[in-house]
Amino acid sequence: MLALAKDITQEIPTHPQESEIPELKEYMDYQRKINTEKLVFHALDHAKTFLQKNIRDAGEDKAQLEDYRKKAFPISFGLIADADTLLLMLRKMINAHNSTNNWYRMNPFYYSVLYDCVERFVKIYNRLVRENPEKSQEFRVSDGLEVDFDDWAQLYFHDLDFLIGKTPEYLHYSFTQRNRAIHKAIYEATQDGTPREEAIQKIKAEFTLDPSTVNILLGKTVGPKELELFYTSAENPIYETLYSTDSEDGFMDGESLADHAYFMAYQIKNKSEEELAQWMEELSQASKH
47-60 as b/e, with b when 16 or more CB fall inside 10 Å?
bbeebeebbeebee
pTM over 0.85: yes
Residue 115: which pLDDT band, with cuts at 50, 70 and 90?
Answer: very high
Q: Is 170 exposed, middle or buried (0-12, 13-18, 19+ CB in 10 A)?
A: middle
CA angle, residues 227, 229, 232, in degrees to nearest 5: 165
The answer to whether residue 7 scores a pLDDT higher than 70 is: yes
The answer to whether residue 174 scores a pLDDT higher than 70 is: yes
> How do residues 182-235 score in pLDDT, each as one tens digit?
999 999 999 999 999 999 999 999 999 999 999 999 999 999 999 999 999 999
Q: Average pLDDT of the chain?
A: 94
The answer to whether residue 280 scores a pLDDT higher than 90 is: no
> How do residues 14-57 score in pLDDT, each as one tens digit?
999 999 999 999 999 999 999 999 999 999 999 999 999 999 99
Residue 289: which pLDDT band, with cuts at 50, 70 and 90?
Answer: low
Mean pLDDT in residue range 60-83: 97
Q: Where are the domains of the chain?
A: 22-147+222-276
Q: Which residue has the higher pLDDT, 284 or 252?
A: 284
pLDDT at 10: 81
DSSP output for 65-126: HHHHHHHHSTTTGGGS--HHHHHHHHHHHHHHHH-SSEEEE--HHHHHHHHHHHHHHHHHHH
The answer to whether residue 261 scores a pLDDT higher than 90 is: yes
Q: Which of 125, 130, 117 lies closest to 156 in space, CA to CA?
A: 117
